[in-house]
Amino acid sequence: MDNLAGFGRKFRQIATLKKGVLPVKGEKLEPFFSKVYGVTHKNADGTDRQALLRKCRVGETLVLTHEPIPEDPNAVKVCRQTGEQIGWLSASLAAEIAPRLDKGSRVDVVITDLTGGGWLIKKKRGCNIQITKYSLR
């Protein structure tokens, strides 16, 4: 691997995989960013997700739960540690994450940015997150 020292981490990972070396089970994979969807809707119990987002803080750890719904069998809800739902992952991302959750794989989620809000002009709030997956092998 010494001959790959000048290249980025992602390139080294790809080169390692092409050589046939797979990540060790539970090995931390490259984190990536997404946003939480459905933050303007209310929860089934009537809880306002916008009000919940006002309580959230950057750096807060969130929990993902695979919860199939009629519209999407891979739906993954995004909740605070308290169990309060703030939204969902996008359908395309949920299709990748739901099977991992079903297999018991570790997936870490942290709030990286809270958008919108404001004092004078009340904008809808949003939530950006960093997701870190761990290898299944």
pLDDT tens for 40-93 read: 999 999 999 999 999 999 999 999 999 999 999 999 999 999 999 999 999 999
Higher pLDDT, 103 or 123: 103
Which CATH class name applies to 25-133? alpha beta
Q: Residues 6 or more apart from 36 whose CB is under 8 A from it?
A: 78, 86, 87, 88, 89, 126, 127, 128, 129
Phi and psi angles of residue 109, each rounded to the nearest 5 degrees, phi first? -135, 130
- Cα 129 to chain centroid distance, Å, stands at 6
**Could you tell me if 70 and 57 are in contact, meaning their C-beta atoms sit under 8 angstroms apart?**
no
Burial 70-99 (b: 16+ CB within 10 A, else e): eeeebbbbbbbeeeebbbbbeeebbeebbe
Q: Residues 6 or more apart from 49 whose CB is under 8 A from it?
A: 38, 39, 40, 41, 42, 43, 85, 86, 87
Confidence (pTM):
0.79
Residue 69 per-residue DSSP state: B
Amino acid in position 8? G
Q: pLDDT tens-digit profile of 6-52?
A: 545 544 444 444 445 555 667 899 999 999 999 999 999 999 999 99
Every domain of the chain and the residues it spans:
25-133
